[in-house]
Amino acid sequence: MTTGATTQIVFDDATAKAVEAAYLTPDVVAQRARVLELLEPKCGEHVIDIGAGPGLLALDLARLVGPDGRLVALDAAPAMVAMAKARLHDFPQATSMQGDAVHLEFPDASFDGAVSTQVYEYVADMPRALAELCRVLKPGGRTVVLDTDWRSIVWHSSDNQRMERMLRCWDAHLNDPHLAAKLGPLLTRAGLTVRRVEVVPMLSPTWQPVSYAGAITRFIHDYVRNNGGRHGIDPDEIDGWFEDQQALIARGEFFFSVNRYAFFATR
């Protein structure tokens, strides 16, 4: 858990577009495909995407459940809800709506399947959120929960102490940057049975601007520029970190890796 105040990102229109661009990179597309393989949505099923973001996974789910199924794309940010709604426009079986992961306003046993990717690390009351997830699943229902443990990050830098300060500041945008390590017991205590856990790595051994690594470099730079002062990081240090990454890229020495963890569970 982070210490001190959490300074979460505001998911406005500009941020929503940046997230959408990151989610369209090949490595995140591959992650989305693996989530679908684990969940195995079927025609006619009712599925909820908790924290649907720009709606890319929701679109795949809507196609897979088909016209006789139902897909709910839920997100707390109005900009994300609007983006997902536009993406799902041609799928009458799909609904994009604003909602809270801790208060799912659906009857018990509403869904055959549920997914939540890169969402619960923002949630303060995880026991309540997972109890809600369990409640809205039908008996035998399936869920895939995927989150990052940011302690798994390996990111080459010419100044490791500066990199650590940057990443500590970045951690502050999450309620729990190390949630993945605790998810198994949390899911079990919520009434779910964990059937499978696997690593979904975001690996860039060389620089590719159209990648998760390219996107996260920009996200962290912008976030720390806006919030670094409260963590004792001045603008010159932030610029130095970014310039160092550019120099490593120019020399062919860029390396980035972080692990996400996918939990497949049933009710």
Domain membership of residue 249 (yes or no) is no
Neighbours of 266 (CB within 10 A): 14
User: Is the predicted pLDDT of residue 3 greater than 90, yes or no?
Assistant: no
In which band, very low, low, confident or very high, does the pLDDT at 230 lie, cut at 50, 70 and 90?
confident
Domain membership of residue 168 (yes or no) is no
Q: What is the mean pLDDT of residues 111-123?
A: 97
Q: CA of 3: how far to CAs of 25, 126, 144, 177, 194, in Å? A: 32, 17, 28, 11, 29
Across the chain, mean pLDDT equals: 95
Domain membership of residue 159 (yes or no) is no
**Residue showing tokens 């090949």:** 26
Is 12 or 1 the better-scoring residue by pLDDT? 12
CA distance 267 to 253: 46
Q: What is the mean pLDDT of residues 245-255?
A: 98
User: Is the predicted pLDDT of residue 2 greater than 70, yes or no?
Assistant: no
**Which range of residues forms the domain containing residue 110?**
13-151+174-203+259-266
Share of the chain above pLDDT 70, in %: 98
The predicted-structure confidence for 143-176, as pLDDT tens digits, reads as follows 999 999 999 999 999 999 999 999 999 999 999 9
Give me 211's structure tokens. 């990648």
User: Is the predicted pLDDT of residue 7 greater than 60, yes or no?
Assistant: yes
Is 227 or 4 the better-scoring residue by pLDDT? 227
Overall domain count for the chain: 1
Domain membership of residue 219 (yes or no) is no
Mapped onto helix, strand or coil, the DSSP state of residue 50 is strand
Q: Are 77 and 99 in contact (CB under 8 A)?
A: no
Give me 89's structure tokens. 């426009």
Domain membership of residue 69 (yes or no) is yes
In which band, very low, low, confident or very high, does the pLDDT at 8 lie, cut at 50, 70 and 90?
confident
pLDDT of residue 6: 63
Domain membership of residue 26 (yes or no) is yes
CA distance 202 to 225: 24
Domain membership of residue 210 (yes or no) is no
The predicted-structure confidence for 43-64, as pLDDT tens digits, reads as follows 999 999 999 999 999 999 999 9
User: Domain containing 115 — which CATH number?
Assistant: 3.40.50.150
Domain membership of residue 110 (yes or no) is yes
Closest CA to 101 of 134, 63, 70: 134
User: Is the predicted pLDDT of residue 212 greater than 80, yes or no?
Assistant: yes
